[in-house]
Amino acid sequence: MSFGSSSGGGLDPDALIFAGKYDEALQALNRSSGSDDLRLAGKRCYCLTQIGRHDEAIGMLQKHLSSRRGWSAGWIAKAKVHFDLGQYAQALDCLTDDGTKNLKKGSSRAIMEEARDLRACIGQVRDSGATEHIRGNVQYKAEEFERATKHYLRAVEELPSMEDRSLGEQERERLGALHSNLSACYFKLGHAEVSKSKEMWFLALKHALKCVKLRPGWSKGYTRRDDAIRVLDVSKVDVSAIEESLHKTLRVSETKAGVEEDNKVSGDNAFKRGDFSSAVNFYTKALQSNQVHHPKAKLHSNRSACYAKLGKWVPALEDGQKALQESPRWHKAWMRVACAMEGLGNVLDAYCVYSKALGSCAEGKAELQRSMAALLPLIPVRDTHVSLDCRGSRCLERFQMDANFPRDRTRVFCISDVHIDQHGNIAWFKKLSDENFTNDVVIIAGDVGDTMNALRICLKEFKKRFRRVFFTPGNHDLWIRRDTSDGKMYPDSIAKMGAMHNVCQELGVDMGPAEVAQGIFVVPLFSWYNHTFDERDPTPGGLRYDSFCQWPPSLGGHLEVWKYFLLMNRERVGRDYKGGYKGPGTPYVFSMSHFLPRAELPYPMGVQEMAKAVGCKELDVQIQRIKSDVHVFGHTHMDMDTTMPGTDTRYVQSALDGGGGLYKLYEGHHLTGTRVDTNGFPI
């Protein structure tokens, strides 16, 4: 390539292209003779592309290619223009090499290699992300800042402009993030291209200011702005003038929004002075206006907060959900929904909302974590799934619904460790009678499946056959394996347990206590193991069992989980089930847990540190407090029906995965102890 003077007295176009002076290079090329010269046409195309005149470049190339279809370099040039526009399909179509279309057989080896490399590059970029925004992120991480800039600019073009009054909160957030990314790219390019440093840094400042305007509460926009000001000579940069130029196009729309501004500000002032009813009215007027200036998410969020202060939890939830729809990555919207759910008594659901918010929101994580930690001790006493005493308790409703069912028509069965997703155990249900258990009760002492989907399938199969189904979770039920859908759905095992309650409610399965017939009580107990169960060495072991379980930090680590599970039982073990019964016959209490309540119960002795991960002796204190006649447990897959010195309680395990099956505990006014087949007949 020559960098001397051209015959016309000006600089050689190649030298101008090398210097990045594409406008001047294009003028020089246009002055050159030979408008049909394909070599010059290729250079003109390159210059037009660099200065953003893509349509002219494509038109010029198409004109040449219509008469010279075998011009392989022209097809490559056209592919590059389409690639620069993000038109990946058109770009690849230009590079077909089947011998009948664009790249003819006989093209030089260099041309074919260039086409092959370009095809690979286009395919790689196209497949690097589903959107231009994601593709830009990929290029940014690869430090291809110029290419990332093009992706981000195309993503900006796909969204409404800043001054568009219909711009939603979600679009505002996305647009702000894109301008932040563009600012970062131009900042990097300013360091890479010294000759264009000032130009690049001014662009970085411009996009940073747009980000600040779109997302005034986002710290990253201010960081981008300050970075650009720092590298520019701030004494020579009138930042306020740049801001004035940037924002003047928005002033007309802001002026038109004066009424909404007044209503929003009036609502804020009413909220501050505690006049929540008036605040609701002001926010409602702002939302009902034909042209809403303030983000709808913020107005719905503020009105939700007012309803919460007034104790109107249903409209508070509705407004919180609307705020979340408008701005799904805004942590305040998630918090409004969670607050309303807590007010309605759905404390576990509120915990799950906070958990999901942590995975969705880039900001407010500390506030979300504090809110989650504050909810944990409230779940046992205020959640309608768990507490019998809270107002409007679903648990209490389920407790009373069958209190008058005839006890002589009721049988009680138990089973544990179904593990429906292992060892072909699901086939057992094909043998289980659909007709012989319609008046009966089954107690399932945990470990029905490793995933929520398996749990749902298993409990649904039982519910199709039994009148009442009781379930308490085991360790496998609380696993969150990252290679399953649970890993994407539940950030921790408490959140998964909350989802279990919702699944059980949907299916009509019980996780709380109930009087299932006259004087027949079933009391599920939550349980987890602790190392003091190992009487030979009551110290923490070196092994971590159930590492698939994830626990919130506020519980104090996996060694403290057992304390929280006992706390979950506090209200249900505080009731006098037998003393409150005044009906016919002797009352019986059937309690259930997954883990062993007594160290005397057998467990596999040959497994290292197994004793530290099978039981909780403190659980038996709760069992004795409710005067349980039969306690059903699982986990060890070692079937038994036994009593222990100093107590009248029978301890029963019948694990399907251990070779057992259904075990009958009660029939015809009396306690029994009989293994039965899948039709309910004694074995």
Distance CA 621, CA 113 (A): 78
| Confidence check: pLDDT of 626 > 90 | yes
Residues 6 or more apart whose CB falls under 8 angstroms from that of 445 comprise: 414, 415, 416, 417, 472, 474, 592, 593, 594, 632, 633, 634, 653
Do 259-382 and 13-90+105-116 have the same topology in CATH?
Answer: yes
Helix (H, G, I), strand (E, B) or coil at 296: helix
| Confidence check: pLDDT of 455 > 90 | yes
Of 435 and 658, the one with more pLDDT:
435
79 band by pLDDT with thresholds 50, 70 and 90: confident
User: Phi then psi for 197, rounded to 5 degrees?
Assistant: -55, -50
Residues 6 or more apart whose CB falls under 8 angstroms from that of 48 comprise: 26, 54, 56, 57, 60
Model-level pTM?
0.61
pLDDT of residue 408: 92
pLDDT of residue 338: 95
On the CB side of 12, how many CA atoms lie within 13 Å of its CA? 8
Give the DSSP letter of residue 624: H
Ranking 99-113, 162-176, 486-500, 565-579 by mean pLDDT, the lowest is: 99-113
| Confidence check: pLDDT of 8 > 60 | no
Of 518 and 272, the one with more pLDDT:
518
pLDDT of residue 106: 54
251 band by pLDDT with thresholds 50, 70 and 90: very low
Burial class (CB in 10 A: 0-12, 13-18, 19+), 392: exposed
| Confidence check: pLDDT of 218 > 60 | yes
Give the DSSP letter of residue 33: S
pLDDT of residue 85: 78
Whether 403 and 397 have beta carbons less than 8 Å apart is answered as no
Helix (H) or strand (E) holding 374: helix 365-375
Beta-bridge partners for 664: 413, 674
Distance CA 261, CA 268 (A): 11
Look up the CATH number of domain 394-675. Answer: 3.60.21.10
pLDDT of residue 577: 94
Burial class (CB in 10 A: 0-12, 13-18, 19+), 242: middle
CATH 3.40.50.1860 assigned to 259-382:
no
The residue extents of the domains of the chain are 13-90+105-116, 133-212+220-245, 259-382, 394-675
Helix (H, G, I), strand (E, B) or coil at 222: helix
Whether 631 and 650 have beta carbons less than 8 Å apart is answered as yes
Per-residue H/E/C for 394-457: HHHHHHHCCCCCCHHHCEEEEEECCCCCCCCCCHHHHHCCCCCCCCCEEEECCCCCCCHHHHHH
- In 65-197, where do the E strands start and end? none
Burial readout 80-109 (b: 16 or more C-beta within 10 A, e: otherwise): bbbbbbbbbeebbebbebeeeebbeeebee
Burial class (CB in 10 A: 0-12, 13-18, 19+), 267: buried
Lay out the sheet containing 630-632: strands in order across.
514-517, 520-524, 588-592, 630-632, 650-653, 640-643
- Cα distances (Å, whole numbers) of residue 211 to 144, 220, 672: 22, 9, 72
Take residue 443 and report the two structure tokens written for it.
């107690």
Take residue 588 and report the two structure tokens written for it.
């019986």
Of 162 and 123, the one with more pLDDT:
123
pLDDT of residue 5: 39
Helix (H, G, I), strand (E, B) or coil at 176: helix
pLDDT of residue 264: 82
Of 618 and 659, the one with more pLDDT:
618
Helix (H, G, I), strand (E, B) or coil at 606: coil
| Confidence check: pLDDT of 622 > 60 | yes
| Confidence check: pLDDT of 435 > 90 | yes
Look up the CATH number of domain 13-90+105-116. Answer: 1.25.40
| Overall average pLDDT of the 120-125 stretch | 80
Distance CA 623, CA 601 (A): 15
Summarised one tens digit per residue, pLDDT across range 530-587 is: 999 999 999 998 888 999 999 988 888 889 999 999 999 988 998 999 998 988 889 9
Looking at the chain, the whole-number percentage of residues with pLDDT higher than 70 is 88
265 band by pLDDT with thresholds 50, 70 and 90: confident
CA 19 from chain centre, in angstroms, equals 49
Distance CA 268, CA 282 (A): 9
pLDDT of residue 333: 92
